[in-house]
Amino acid sequence: MSAATPFAGEIPSPFLRHPESADTVSANERDLLDLVRHHGTTTRAELVRATGLTAQSVMRLVDELVERGMLRMGETIVRGRGKPAVAISLDPGFAFSLGLSITTDSLALCLIDFAGEVRARHEEALKLTQRAALVKRVDTLVRQVTRRAAVPPGRLLGMGVGTTGFFIGDGARMNPPDPLDDIALVELDQLLCAATGLAVWLDNDGSVAAIGESLYGVGHDYRDFAYYFFGHGFGGGMILGGRCYRGHHGNAGEFAGMLPALGYERPALEILRTLLVDDGHDVPTIQAMLDRYDPTWPAVQRWLDRVTPGISAVTSAVVALADPAAIVLGGRIPKALANQLASRIAIDNVPRRGHGRPLPAIVIARAPHDPVALGAASLPFKECFFW
């Protein structure tokens, strides 16, 4: 959750009736839960080594978390020459969380369980951009998805929301592109909270997509990376030490902000769509363009020629400032186009004594499904249980 975004609403039952199972877990409990989440299945001995706590402390914490329903004990497993150990994992049914993605032309909703598995998902074109109609549609989708997944009563912790735009420094008010004008500069989290009755966390799409990628994609290989989000505009997020760095105002990753002053063009997919329209293609929305994407379109090469200098400048600045292990090309960009762009990116790196600085890997995003919806769904869990 962005530092500029306050917690909206109350935690619903049974979490409200049992606050010790919601946002009052201790730092040590968060450490354990986060380690189990990262490994999927682990043992007490592995948790002792990873946390530095005593075996007695780990045993007590694990037993308490099992009693409260967050962890479960599985089968006995053998690792190496040591004694057999009991497998420990997150209990998927302890809680559920929703993630909502709002772009300029699409809605995506996904439901995950406590272990991070996707239980249900839905995507559709965004046809209703007026505030009241949009909020009502989201409420309808929330009810449909949770009913289809048979979420037990009281086990839905809340909903994370990722939308395009930047925070203006006044609570949870965001400034999105023109197509989302009617939800600009309003407390969208409060509107959705009132409509759905859920606790709502709001963040920008670049940050939550980076979180989704860290949990479900290249984050398994890289703990530090810059995530480039290509959509109607261009932005992204920063993952440092496995956690999302949002900055003081919640706008870290607004990479396009530096481009106009440098005379470069934003590498936005909307620009590619406009070029295709100029060439006579019927692509009224970005999603329509993606649905029929053809890498042989002449407009693709013109787009690459126009945006590569700006992407190279952004990447050079990111590498100089943050020294990430990887640059991830993601968002809504087709993989074929991302591969073409990756091969063109040039990073400033003047050698000294025959040696240049080590440079990051440039990789294509690997998160399945919609990375914004996936990352948004993790926001309630990360606020209450994980780091």
Residue 170, pLDDT score: 82
CA angle (291, 297, 300) in 5-degree steps = 90
pLDDT tens-place string over residues 83-100: 778 999 999 999 999 999
C-alpha to C-alpha distances, 369 to 110, 242, 259, nearest whole angstrom: 9, 21, 30
pTM: predicted TM-score of the whole model, two decimal places: 0.87
Residue 132, pLDDT score: 95
Q: Where are the alpha helices (DSSP H) in 201-243?
A: 205-216
Tell me how far apart the alpha carbons of residues 304 and 107 are, in angstroms, rounded to a whole number. Answer: 27
Helix (H) or strand (E) holding 80: none
The mean predicted confidence, pLDDT, of the chain is 90
Amino acid at 48: V
Tell me how far apart the alpha carbons of residues 78 and 45 are, in angstroms, rounded to a whole number. Answer: 12
Q: Tally Cβ neighbours within 10 Å of residue 368.
A: 11
pLDDT tens-place string over residues 249-265: 999 999 999 999 889 99
What's the fold here for domain 218-364?
Answer: Nucleotidyltransferase; domain 5 (3.30.420)
Tell me how far apart the alpha carbons of residues 233 and 22 are, in angstroms, rounded to a whole number. Answer: 36
The answer to whether the beta carbons of residues 235 and 205 sit under 8 Å apart is yes
CA angle (69, 72, 74) in 5-degree steps = 165
pLDDT tens-place string over residues 122-181: 999 998 889 999 999 999 999 999 999 999 989 999 999 999 999 998 878 999 999 999
Residue 354, pLDDT score: 93
Residue 7, pLDDT score: 30
Coil, strand or helix at 105: coil
The answer for 185, left when phi > 0, alpha when psi is -120 to 50, beta otherwise, is left
pLDDT of 12 higher than 50: no
Residue 5, pLDDT score: 32
Total residue count of the chain as it appears in this document: 387
Amino acid at 150: A
Residue 80, pLDDT score: 63
Report the first-to-last Cα separation within the chain, whole angstroms: 11
Residue 17, pLDDT score: 27
Assigned CATH for 94-210+371-384: 3.30.420.40
Tell me how far apart the alpha carbons of residues 28 and 278 are, in angstroms, rounded to a whole number. Answer: 58
**Can you say whether the dihedral through the CA atoms of 379, 102, 254, 351 is positive or negative?**
positive
Strands (E), the chain: 71-77, 85-90, 96-102, 106-113, 118-125, 156-163, 166-167, 174-175, 200-204, 225-230, 234-240, 243-245, 326-331, 361-364
The CATH architecture of the domain made up of 19-92 is: Orthogonal Bundle (1.10)
pLDDT tens-place string over residues 176-209: 999 999 999 999 999 999 999 999 999 999 999 9
Tell me how far apart the alpha carbons of residues 354 and 31 are, in angstroms, rounded to a whole number. Answer: 43
pLDDT tens-place string over residues 280-328: 999 999 999 999 999 999 999 999 999 999 999 999 999 999 999 999 9
User: For the chain, what are the domain ranges?
Assistant: 19-92, 94-210+371-384, 218-364
Tell me how far apart the alpha carbons of residues 18 and 20 are, in angstroms, rounded to a whole number. Answer: 5
The structure tokens listed for 262 are 């440098």
C-alpha to C-alpha distances, 152 to 95, 99, 147, 360, nearest whole angstrom: 9, 18, 9, 44
pLDDT tens-place string over residues 21-65: 344 689 999 999 999 998 899 999 999 999 999 999 999 999 999
pLDDT tens-place string over residues 338-347: 999 999 999 9
Give percent of the chain with pLDDT exceeding 70. Answer: 93
Residue 79, pLDDT score: 66
Same fold for the pair 94-210+371-384 and 218-364: yes
Coarse DSSP helix, strand, coil percentages of the chain, rounded to the nearest 5 percent: 40, 20, 35
pLDDT tens-place string over residues 232-244: 999 999 999 989 9
